[in-house]
Structure 1
Amino acid sequence: MANPNIVSANEDWRLLPFDQLSLDQQNDVVHELRGLGLNDSEIESVIGLEKEYQHIEKTSLKVTSKARVGQTRTQTFTISKNTILGTSSASLLAMMVRKGIPTATAGAILTAATGLIADNVSFSGITVTIKYVYGYNNDGVLGWNVGPITWKVKY
């Protein structure tokens, strides 16, 4: 059964943007995406979207109110099983990245979802929750930071 906490303590690197991953981590993600059937052009496209939407998503959070350090925002969405079955892996990854999910995390979620399908598990979809925390990042810049990203299978 799939673990609802997609990013465990030893995989917190999946919360980082692709360009901040180590070379080994980047290679792991690219290998995972190729396993989902993406070609190099599609992988480059998803990574490019991540760079573009990372800023847009965080900017839209600032508009909602005057943020305070420690304040959180949560975004939840569901991907139906029919969408997973009827949409290309590249399109599903792009959709998740447009919602602010880092490429490494989106790849792990999609890999788990396709594993459920391959195992003939009966489910209706996957619900993904992104938590953003307002505070200082590792570079000392104040802003919205991607916090835990969790997912659960809807039966």
Structure 2
Amino acid sequence: MSEWQISLIFQDDKSNKFWRARCIGNSLEVNFGRIGTQGQSQTKRYDSLEDAANELQKQAREKMKKGYVDGDGGPNEATAAPADAESASAAPAPAQCALTLTMGERRLELRLSVEGNALHTHSTEHYPNPEAAEAAFAQVRAALEADGYRPR
């Protein structure tokens, strides 16, 4: 399964919850709930990948307006064995940042985080139209395959 594209948390005196979402094809999958639980999952199918991605961004904006911030409180971290939880609490929090670069009609969003010995990267590049995005996809894929990357 793919990683979550957006992962947010909301914590205050009364709340301790997570919300995360990802697009898989033209479907939007959302997982949400109280930190420390598996939460609930919902999947909704859209007419196109673009429609699903737009809905993902819309819902994320709405959550951020309500006070959610970047962070991962989903079940993978919360369901570790007690010994793991103790060692995880002693470990430093993962380093994270979100960056945006605008170049004319293109916008690049990049999220970086470090957990242990792993650097996680997630990038989304927005183009003025689907044709430009498809052309960029073909160009990047060809360059990566020429460098030795292989499809899974």
**Range into which the TM-score falls when normalised by the shorter chain:** 0.3 to 0.5
Structure (1/2) with the larger helix percentage:
1
TM-score (norm 2): 0.33
Structure (1/2) with the larger strand percentage:
2
